[in-house]
């Protein structure tokens, strides 16, 4: 993979990183930096009002930082180039990602977990590795799709066979290179292997289950035709049971109607 031309951090984000590392910086100062880039601000506000965080109405970057947290706004800003690529060329994957963001948020709220917005962001970003593979290795991506279809196997296995790595590893590596916080890197890197998530296993387990719920629902297109195995460690970590899962399925399906409308709205703009 060509690593020299990875999506880079805009100067706005570099300034934001510097400010957010300084404990004395105020939310207003950070919001002012982001607001100086109108395209970026518009994109962040659109995402902040997407069903993934659909419990608020966010009209300014300052509001977004207060309601969703600086980490979430920073991550959305950093990943905006990937989101733009998804919206343009990978609508099915974009729908899947939004769906996983929604499901992750609902799971986190149902289980009373802290940092629901950050968990939703991890859900939204969990497949960024797939976008990078598509952008940087489009020939290999075609081989991956062909292999998965011919062998009737999971995309993850096809990726390992064809490019000797997988989208979770690539996504984790990209998130790391962008200096995203570990609480986002681990769910991205280990959403297919929850046991390897040591420091943020609960968040990783939520994204793992959210991904499976959306695949089971058939919403969007992750590139996989099959529902992966629910890992016992994720089930145990979240103390999941059939009743909770059943309630979650209904809540997620209700919310997916909003996601579908949101995606259609975006396509028509």
Question: Which residues would be at the binding site for another protein (CB under 8 A)?
Answer: 152, 154, 212-213, 215-218, 225-230, 232, 235, 242, 245-246, 249-250, 253
Q: How far is the CB of 47 from another protein (least distance, A)?
A: 28
Residue closer to another protein by CB (options 2, 242) is 242
Q: How far is the CB of 249 from another protein (least distance, A)?
A: 5
The rounded distance, in Å, linking the Cα atoms of 15 and 259 is: 32
Q: Please report the DSSP string for 148-200 in residue order.
A: HHHHT--HHHHHHHHHSS-HHHHHHHHHHHTT--HHHHHHHHHTT-GGG--SS
CB proximity list for 210: less than 8 A, separation 6 or greater: 100, 101, 103, 104, 107, 123
Tokens of 146: 């062909």
Residue closer to another protein by CB (options 23, 242) is 242
Q: Which long-range contacts (CB under 8 A, 24 or more apart) does 145-153 make?
A: 145/223, 148/223, 148/224, 148/225
Residue closer to another protein by CB (options 216, 267) is 216
Residue closer to another protein by CB (options 80, 231) is 231
Which whole-number Å values give the CA distances from 209 to 99, 125, 242, 249, in the listed order?
12, 15, 13, 11
Sign, CA dihedral 200-47-68-18, equals positive
Q: How far is the CB of 136 from another protein (least distance, A)?
A: 29
Place of tokens 């990078």: 132
Residue closer to another protein by CB (options 1, 233) is 233
Residue closer to another protein by CB (options 34, 214) is 214
Q: How far is the CB of 251 from another protein (least distance, A)?
A: 11
């Amino acid at each position: 993979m060509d690593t020299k031309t990875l999506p880079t951090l805009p100067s706005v984000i570099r300034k934001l990183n510097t400010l957010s590392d300084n404990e004395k910086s105020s939310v207003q100062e950070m919001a002012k930096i982001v607001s100086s880039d109108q395209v970026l601000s518009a994109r962040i506000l659109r995402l902040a009002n997407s069903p993934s965080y659909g419990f608020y109405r966010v009209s300014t970057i300052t509001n977004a930082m207060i309601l969703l947290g600086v980490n979430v706004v920073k991550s959305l800003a950093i990943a905006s180039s990937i989101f733009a690529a998804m919206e343009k060329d990978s609508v099915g994957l974009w729908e899947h990602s939004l769906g996983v963001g929604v499901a992750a948020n609902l799971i986190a709220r149902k289980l009373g977990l802290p940092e629901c917005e950050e968990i939703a962001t991890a859900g939204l970003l969990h497949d960024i590795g797939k976008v990078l593979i598509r952008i940087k290795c489009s020939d290999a991506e075609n081989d991956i799709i062909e292999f998965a279809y011919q062998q009737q196997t999971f995309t993850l296995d096809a990726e390992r066979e064809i490019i000797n790595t997988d989208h979770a590893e690539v996504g984790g590596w990209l998130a790391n290179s962008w200096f995203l916080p570990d609480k986002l890197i681990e769910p991205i890197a280990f959403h297919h292997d929850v046991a390897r998530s040591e420091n943020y296993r609960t968040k990783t387990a939520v994204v793992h289950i959210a991904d499976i719920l959306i695949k089971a629902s058939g919403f969007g297109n992750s590139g996989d035709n099959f529902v992966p195995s629910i890992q016992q460690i994720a089930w145990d970590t979240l103390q999941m049971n059939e009743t909770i899962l059943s309630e979650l399925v209904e809540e997620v399906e209700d919310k997916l109607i909003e996601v579908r409308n949101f995606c259609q709205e975006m396509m028509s703009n």
